[in-house]
Structure 1
Amino acid sequence: MSPLPPLKALQAFDALGRTGSLALAAADLGVTPGAISQQLRKLEAAVSARLVEQAGRGLRLTPLGATYHAQIRQGFAAFAEAATILRDATADVIVLSCLTTVLGKWIGRRMRDWTELDAQARVSLVGSDAEPDLSQGAVDLRIYYGGRLHPPHRAELFVDHIVPVCAPALIEGHRLSGPEDILRFPLLHIVWDPRFGANPGWTEWGRLIGARPPPANLTYGLSGSAIDAALAGQGFVLGQLAFIGPELETGKLVIPFDLRLPLPEPYYLAWNPDSLRKTGARAFHRWLLGEGRAQGLVSATPL
């Protein structure tokens, strides 16, 4: 027996979750509302859980169903992204794959600078923590962290640094006389995926100032999520300078004491040399390396 429910049943459930209506879900998939209802019953039987309930004349997701839908939506989104990668690989589109937070908090924010340099080159940005096989041709360039991978064509981009930052409102009305005062506030901890090795955290920063931080208040698996929590005033985070530049410039985040630690390893750019034949690819490759060098200087230079 397959551990996965029938695909058609999952598609029907996803359509209902996306559209919020039995009729709209049916129209989305090009079937009748009765067919959607039948697939929903099959899905509930397969997972032995009640996922939908009556809402007037229609259906809506139960709380458990909403939780389940949020998870399978990620799967269907991954299918769509995979189709996009394959389509772009066969076209004259430069496909850059990045770690999720690197895309959202670093290079994605700089792409306007690139498009102003070359408005003709077509670039597709893909955020993924899974390492692609560049030799297959579906991805042209990859930004990744650490020296555990040894692709034949790679170059160091930059070594990033971390520094304690918070939203100004968190410390408003509080007098911070020294860096150890930071430890009196909620501390947001980041724990990386073990594949990337151990990241320096509050324990290491505490050693830098000769103090012992309290246990973790909140722990995040993504640096970007922890930074967003700090922006919301939830506590101090050891933010990577590459990921918080705009927030520091606008004052949304502040650095009470500029005591920073370098990450153990650099970020790298890897590429498939055959892909550099695409329109604008060599220039894009050079631009990425230049952005990396510039970021390395910013991250290492005290404010």
Structure 2
Amino acid sequence: MIPMRAISMFHATVKAGSISSAAQELGVTPSAISQQIHSLELFLGTSLMVKVGRQVKLTEAGERYFEMISNGVDQIAEATQRLRGYRAATVLTVRAAPTLSTKWLLPRLGSFIGRHPQIDVRIDGTNEPTNFDREDVDVDLRHGEGRWPGLFVEGLAEERFFPVCSPGIAAAGSLKPADFFRYRLIHSVKSAVQWPHWFATVGISPEQRWQRVLFDRSHMVVDAAAGGLGIALESNMMMWNELRDGRLVCPVPNPPPITAVTQWIVCPHDRLRLSKVRSFIEWLQAERDAWLAEVAAAGSPAAGIV
């Protein structure tokens, strides 16, 4: 049997720099540590350290052995502390783009927490895709085109893109596309649908210059439009609360049906065996279905909602 107690005491002694310091840290006597290290040396058949005054010095074999076990012992210690610290709780780490986190996920998250009080949720709001081999992330709600081989990938929902503005700028359905050039156009530089594409879809050649303001986060675009800065082109998923509350309306009747799936549920296949991951994905799917039903019941963009 591998002498784990002796290994942990050897590891602690090397990190502390002396047997006495390690003994104080571990709450044992120095002689107990000396005995454990001696038993480990007998088990391995080689000397690991020698005393130099009050300090200890690793032998060549000791240096190699410490290098080989150090990461593993540290990981065991961290895992043990996490489990002790959280007791029966389980931590679920979700990475999601800032706009999806702020505008869609956060308003709904309370229902997941209420159903699963034993799960502590950590939201990591960033656009950077997760490296699951190196990062402690369970689920990635990722923006993109959905092509990530080797991972579980499921589209969150089909979104519809159309122009919106504050009702103080223009009433719902009151403008023609050609009228837009009288207003400032708000650009979301990372959006899947851009203004040139929308104008081409409605058969208009944009003027060479128009007033515009650009943002690199869609939630800033939504807030700017709701604040009366101009007309934005965004996804109904990202601005649903503002549409439902009447803070944003679609200023043109019958906008072209431009749709896309831009948000994806992503994780390694082996993560699906974890109950916390399965619970979260099943909750996401249910929330998605409820939102799509709400969208279908709301009507058309010309009515100022969808």
Kindly indicate whether the alpha-carbon contact (under 8 Å) linking 2:164 and 2:250 is maintained by their aligned counterparts in 1. Answer: yes
TM-score, normalised by the number of residues in structure 1: 0.60
Kindly indicate whether the alpha-carbon contact (under 8 Å) linking 2:185 and 2:232 is maintained by their aligned counterparts in 1. Answer: yes
1:208 to 1:297, Cα distance in 2 relative to 1, 3 A: farther
Matched letter for residue 285 of structure 2: L
Alignment match, 1:201: 194
The partner residue of 2:229 within 234, 241, 247 is: 234
1:255 to 1:136, Cα distance in 2 relative to 1, 3 A: same
TM-score, normalised by the number of residues in structure 2: 0.60
Which runs of 5 or more residues in structure 2 are unaligned? 1-77, 84-89, 301-305
Kindly indicate whether the alpha-carbon contact (under 8 Å) linking 2:224 and 2:230 is maintained by their aligned counterparts in 1. Answer: yes
Alignment match, 1:211: 204
Alignment match, 2:162: 163
Alignment match, 1:245: 240
Kindly indicate whether the alpha-carbon contact (under 8 Å) linking 2:170 and 2:251 is maintained by their aligned counterparts in 1. Answer: no
Q: Show the 5 A alignment for 1:255-294.
A: 255-257=250-252, 258-276=254-272, 280-294=276-290
Alignment match, 1:115: 113
Q: Show the 5 A alignment for 1:38-187.
A: 92-136=90-134, 138-145=136-143, 146-171=145-170, 176-187=174-185
Q: State the Cα RMSD in Å.
A: 3.0
Kindly indicate whether the alpha-carbon contact (under 8 Å) linking 2:162 and 2:258 is maintained by their aligned counterparts in 1. Answer: no
- Find the aligned partners of 1:122 and 1:279 in 2 and give their Cα distance: 13
1:178 to 1:269, Cα distance in 2 relative to 1, 3 A: same
Kindly indicate whether the alpha-carbon contact (under 8 Å) linking 1:161 and 1:299 is maintained by their aligned counterparts in 2. Answer: no
Matched letter for residue 149 of structure 2: H
Q: How far apart are 1:212 and its partner, in Å?
A: 2.6
- Find the aligned partners of 1:275 and 1:148 in 2 and give their Cα distance: 19
When Rg is computed on C-alpha atoms for both structures, the one with the higher figure is 2
Which of 116-125 and 231-240 deviates more? Answer: 116-125
Matched letter for residue 140 of structure 1: D
Q: How far apart are 1:278 and its partner, in Å?
A: 5.1
SS of the equivalent of 1:269 reads strand
1:23-56 deviation digits (Å, cap 9, x = unpaired): xxxxxxxxxxxxxxxxxxxxxxxxxxxxxxxxxx
SS of the equivalent of 1:204 reads helix
Which of 200-209 and 226-235 deviates more? Answer: 200-209
Matched letter for residue 245 of structure 1: W
Q: How far apart are 1:299 and its partner, in Å?
A: 6.3
- Find the aligned partners of 1:180 and 1:190 in 2 and give their Cα distance: 20
Q: How far apart are 1:241 and its partner, in Å?
A: 0.5
Alignment match, 1:73: none
1:297 to 1:208, Cα distance in 2 relative to 1, 3 A: farther
Kindly indicate whether the alpha-carbon contact (under 8 Å) linking 1:137 and 1:275 is maintained by their aligned counterparts in 2. Answer: no
- Number of residue-to-residue matches in the alignment: 211
Kindly indicate whether the alpha-carbon contact (under 8 Å) linking 2:103 and 2:241 is maintained by their aligned counterparts in 1. Answer: no
Kindly indicate whether the alpha-carbon contact (under 8 Å) linking 2:186 and 2:213 is maintained by their aligned counterparts in 1. Answer: yes
Alignment match, 1:18: none
Which runs of 5 or more residues in structure 1 are unaligned? 1-85, 193-197
- Find the aligned partners of 1:90 and 1:261 in 2 and give their Cα distance: 49
